Amino acid sequence: MPKDVITPRARDYNQWYLDIVREADMAEVAEVVRGCIVFKPTGWALWELMQRGLDERIKETGHANVQFPLLIPKSFIMKEAEHVAGFAPEVAEVTRAGGEELAEPYVIRPTSETIIGHFYSKWIRSYRDLPLLYNQWCNVMRWELRTRPFLRTAEFIWQEGHTAHATEEDAEAETLKILYDVYADFAEKEMAVPVIRGLKTEKEKFPGALRSYCIEAMMQDGRALQAGTSHNLGQNFARAFDITYTDQSNTVQYCWTTSWGVSTRLIGALIMTHSDDEGLVLPPRLAPIQVVVVPIYKNDEERVRVLEAVGRMTAGWKGRLRFKVDDRDNFTPGFKYNEWELKGVPLRVEVGPRDVDKGSVAVARRDIPGREGKSIVPQEGLTERLLGLLDEIQAGLFQRALAFREAHTAVVSSYEELKQQIERGFAIAYWDGSSEDEKRIQEETRATIRCIPLDQPGTVGTCVYTGRETTRQVVFARAY
RNA sequence: CGGGGCGUGGCUCAGCCUGGUAGAGCACCGCGUUUGGGACGCGGGGGUCGUGGGUUCAAAUCCCUCCGCCCCGACCA
């Protein structure tokens, strides 16, 4: 009988999430530092794999990594009007250092547009210096009023890309390239999380941006999670920080800049997309341990025999599979099965004396819990079988998540339908309202326009709120 | 930041109302028996009761302060 360590999703989805984070040993709430978490080895190993997948894509698309200071002069933050208004309430300041009051306080970076803008202004002279394509991996701090592990923490780790271009078209192309080729590609191929690529409304866009694009994912409670954003900053920051270049005809022009980021929030998205009441479920491509081997024996003689067989079996795995042999002898096999299921390991191989005699092993799939996910297979060709199964699981998780999203998405044609649909998932509606209309809907329903999908059907319909004719459809949902 | 709940061995909690020797289960340590879906017996260790102050002969318990966590709301990657 399973112990009651994870609250079922149906009973309390929030508690379920916190239970998974704790029981899978990914992170611990730092309680001595408000709103912060400690990444434990399992959680950090997962993040390292995610970082690798993102970093590869960032570099493949022509960007180089750099690193800017953690502290930003307070006056920098004040330079771009919308930006100040957006971030002022949540910045932490450093006012003393070296035992003395500072002449000008620093803020702990909530994001780095401003300090990077300052340096871009110094570095960019001519159109030949463009485009400038940099990225940095760093931690940032936003003094959030309500925090949850991974989803919203006061300090979080992310990458922030910052680029400068000669024309609006170039900046726009960059913004979209990141959205499609880096973020959406990573989410769907590596995380197995289907995402909607969309444009943010004026109300939801980044403070200081011209346009914000995003990828939005659906969690298992039907709520939306913004998994990544890419902003075309127009010339707003270029004007505030005097980022200019001389063009081919010797005229000084303002640059067009972009910024884009994804954070450790992605870990929250991963958990809430795939995991079940038994614990964490990880997609094979990001699982720090893809295969765990549990040896079974009753005495020393069997132990030696089984471990020898396991040694032969796993000899060729290095470099092909991330695996672990769980040879702890103070736990029973049954305990280990449950523990590794809780931790989300995609495949488990069980090897006992009977298997050694018959040349077989038992293989259990994490994505299919219980007896149905378990089968007896020959030791011969095991490695290829495991590799094949990992691919199958990866694809299966994506398909399952996609099917879930589709089952919980509906086109609505009236405000009443909208109110009902957002209780269970995404509501797609024609939209021609204003920011004020949007705010009113949020107050009345607690749902917001998550995005205007970039894939539009192009058909004509009537706006769900104003009744006006429009071809634009949007996604309404309650969001994290 | 507003409303609500909570803070007691590592974890989950009882004890608080009605002040008087700090408890249970799980986990941990030792020994033995066990091991194909969360083993069992015997023995053992471990707690300034979140913090600071107050009331009292006496505070986990009553009062005040601060800190943190969880839930709801507003704000947000």
Confirm if A421 and A407 have CB atoms less than 8 A apart.
Answer: no
Mean pLDDT of the residues in chain A: 94
Output the DSSP codes for A77-104. HTTSHHHHHHHGGG--EEEEETTEEEEE
Q: Positive or negative CA dihedral for A465, A466, A470, A472?
A: negative
Nucleotides of strand B lying closer than 7 angstroms to a protein CB = 1-2, 29, 34-39, 67-77
pLDDT digits (tens, 9 = 90+) for A236-282: 999 999 999 999 999 999 999 999 999 999 999 999 999 999 999 99
The spacing between the Cα labelled CA in A111 and the C1' in B7, in angstroms, equals: 34
Three-state SS at A36: coil
E strand segments, A109-154: 132-141
The answer to whether residue A362 scores a pLDDT higher than 60 is yes
A92 touches strand B (CB under 7 A): no
The Cα–Cα gap between A42 and A153 comes to 18
Strand B contact residues in chain A (280-339), C-beta within 7 Å = 296-299, 329-335, 337-339
pLDDT, tens digit (0-9, with 9 covering 90-100), for A404-434: 999 999 999 999 999 999 999 999 999 999 9
* pLDDT tens by residue, A13-30: 888 998 899 889 899 888
Residue at A400 is within a domain: no
Distance in angstroms: CA A366, C1' B17: 49
User: What's the Å distance between residue A226 CA and nucleotide B13 C1'?
Assistant: 37
* Same domain? A350 vs A445: no
How far is Cα A361 from Cα A350, in angstroms, rounded to an integer? 6
Q: What is the mean predicted confidence (pLDDT) over A55-69?
A: 98
Domain assignment present for residue A280? The answer is: no
How much is the pLDDT for A2? 43
- How far apart are alpha carbons A381 and A33 in whole angstroms? 51
Residue A363 · residue A337 · CB < 8 Å: no
- Give Cα A286 distance to the centre of its chain: 12
**Is residue A346 within 8 Å of A279, Cβ to Cβ?**
no
| Residue A281 counted as domain residue | no
Domain count along chain A: 3
**Measured CA A220 to C1' B43 distance, in angstroms:** 48
ipTM metric: 0.88
3-class state of residue A198 by DSSP: strand
HSE-CB at A8 with a 13 A cutoff on CA atoms is: 3
Q: Nearest-5° angle of CA A470, CA A475, CA A480?
A: 150
Residue A266 belongs to a domain: yes
Residue A242 vs residues A16, A123, A199, A253, A302: alpha-carbon distances, Å: 49, 11, 27, 10, 74
Residues A94-135: tens digit of each pLDDT: 888 888 888 999 999 999 999 999 999 999 999 999 999 999
Which residues are CB-neighbours of A94 under 8 A, at least 6 positions away? A71, A102, A105, A106, A107, A108
Does A193 lie in the same domain as A140?
A: yes
Q: What's A349's domain CATH number?
A: 3.40.50.800
Q: What is the pLDDT of residue A4?
A: 66
A129 and A178 fall within a common domain = yes
Lowest mean pLDDT among A83-97, A126-140, A384-398, A440-454: A83-97
Q: What is the CATH number of the domain that holds A55?
A: 3.30.930.10
**Residue A354 and residue A216 share a domain:** no
Question: What's the N-to-C CA distance of chain A in angstroms?
Answer: 34
A113 touches strand B (CB under 7 A): no
In the 378-437 segment of chain A, residues within 7 Å (Cβ) of strand B are: none
Q: Please, which pLDDT band fits residue A1 given cuts at 50, 70 and 90?
A: very low
Average of pLDDT values for A28-41?
Answer: 88
C-alpha to C-alpha distance for A368 and A35, rounded to whole angstroms: 35
> A349 and A459 in one domain?
no
Does the structure show a pLDDT above 80 at A360? Answer: yes
- Distance (Å, rounded) from C-alpha A67 to C-alpha A448? 35
A248: Cβ under 7 Å from strand B? no
Q: Rounded mean pLDDT of A48-55?
A: 98
pLDDT of A352 reads: 96
User: Residue A295: which of A283, A312, A281 has the closest Cα?
Assistant: A312
Confidence of residue A3 (pLDDT cuts 50, 70, 90): low
Say yes or no: A413 and A455 in one domain.
Answer: yes
Q: What is the pLDDT of residue A435?
A: 92
Residue A223 has pLDDT above 60, yes or no: yes
Q: Cα angle vertex A372, ends A366, A373, to 5°?
A: 25
Per-residue flag: A355 CB under 7 A of strand B: yes
| A394 assigned to some structural domain | no
Q: Are A455 and A197 in contact (CB under 8 A)?
A: yes
What is the span of the domain harbouring residue A34?
13-274
Q: What is the pLDDT of residues A275-328, one digit of tens each?
A: 999 999 999 999 999 999 999 999 999 999 999 999 999 999 999 999 999 999
